[in-house]
Amino acid sequence: MGETYNAYKEFKKIVQSSGEKMGISEDEYKVFLYPEREFMVSIPIKMDNGKTEVFKGYRVQHSGIRGPYKGGIRFHPDVDIDEVRALAGWMTMKCAVVDIPYGGAKGGIQCDPAKLSKQELERLTRKYTMMIEPIIGEDIDIPAPDVNTNAQIMGWIYDTYSTIKGKSIPGVVTGKPLVIGGCASRVAATGRGVVITIENLLKEMKKDITETTAAIQGFGNVGSITAQLLYEKGCKVIAVSDVSGGLYNPDGLDIRELLDYIGPERKLLSGFDKEGVSHISNEDILTLNVDVLVPAALENQINADIAEKTGAKYIVEGANGPTTNEADKILKERGIIVVPDILANAGGVVVSYFEWVQNRECDRWEDDVCNNKLKAIVDAAFNEVWLTAEEKDVTLREAAYMVAMKRLIETQKIRGLFP
């Protein structure tokens, strides 16, 4: 069924198709098809058993034309260079669509953090930081959390980098613990942005959130917070899932109960048992009859097969790259509205920007200030993308890329090409 999925090829296809629909020449967008810089490292680590293991690490800087590079670091067994290239490109577009002064980057280490002790994880993080230190910095490239990384890992990066530089530099990373310059709003920011986007979409559809059903694939940081906020707003969340499978209740799940169950140790949902709650597969989650489907796991989850079978009316992408280009075409034909990742999950990078500004100013903003600023930025971006989609008669994904690429191309023209 179609060619083998490659995230970077998917990224280039949507950039090219959006450029064509904008009516611009390839010369105007060609530069954004390729990363500006790629850094690959081999990371030797002494394991707890005394043996040495060597891990592959990456940092890709896609575009710095609108500001310092910005993007998370993920720890996952499937990390490879093409995935990191795609994620870096999506970050460039994401920062441009919400109009914050950053470029795009991404990093990753090919590992399974579940099989590493805390000490091994710390050694791996610190060695990786030391190896990419020449190309990161608060004015150059600012990492952040992503899949399987968290505030503690950002704390290790901050400390390692600051130790090398001989002074404390909190602005080198975002998503840090609050006590060392983190932002209280950052943990919930991506999920909060997804929910703000859902509310904006439902408003356009003239649908009340309290009369809406939702299913969420992924119950990590983004998925669980999205589920919690939707639940608190009266939305009926009928299904959620993690890597172990999903839970389903047509009358709605008690999300607070599920959050209490998984706890800080992040128990798997497969162990949850309650009358009226069924265990279903991740594919079942994606094909349920619901109003809103939120894929909040990894890339390539909604392929052509899932697109043919899904019963969702609206798909709001909490993950990066969850829908393939082939699936997009099918969803469009079926009349299913997709709000793309570069718009829907931009809340995280927006609040990362707030954290960075606070670090640079040696200031701290109240939580409400950050959340209000976040809402204003996400609302403005959604409205611009929605109007562009109507005006150009294109999908919301194409419209989001048009908005982003317009800003990037305008900046490129003003700055020019050196030499």
Put residue 238 in one of left, alpha, beta given phi > 0 → left and psi -120 to 50 → alpha: alpha
Q: In one letter, which amino acid is 3?
A: E
| Chain Cα centroid distance, residue 167 | 31
Helix, strand, coil percent values for the chain (each to nearest 5): 50, 20, 30
Query: Which residue is it, tokens 């990373």?
Result: 173
Question: 69 vs 81, 107, 363, CA distance in Å?
Answer: 17, 11, 22
Q: How many residues does the chain have?
A: 419
Query: Cβ contacts of residue 296 below 8 Å, gap of 6+?
Result: 194, 216, 217, 218, 219, 220, 222, 223, 226, 318, 319
Nearest Cα to Cα of residue 145 among 132, 131, 135, 155: 155
Return the CA Rg of the chain.
21
Vertex 251: Cα angle to 250 and 252 (nearest 5): 90
Helical ranges in 219-366 per DSSP H:
221-232, 255-262, 282-287, 304-309, 325-333, 341-344, 347-361
Report helix, strand or coil for 295: strand
Catalytic residue among 106, 127, 176, 236: 106
d(CA 386, CA 392): 10
Pair of tokens at residue 370? 């950050």
Nearest Cα to Cα of residue 414 among 66, 20, 96: 66
**Active site includes 106?**
yes
Buried b (16+ CB within 10 A) or exposed e, 266-283: eeebeebeeeebeebebe
Which residues carry out catalysis?
A: 106
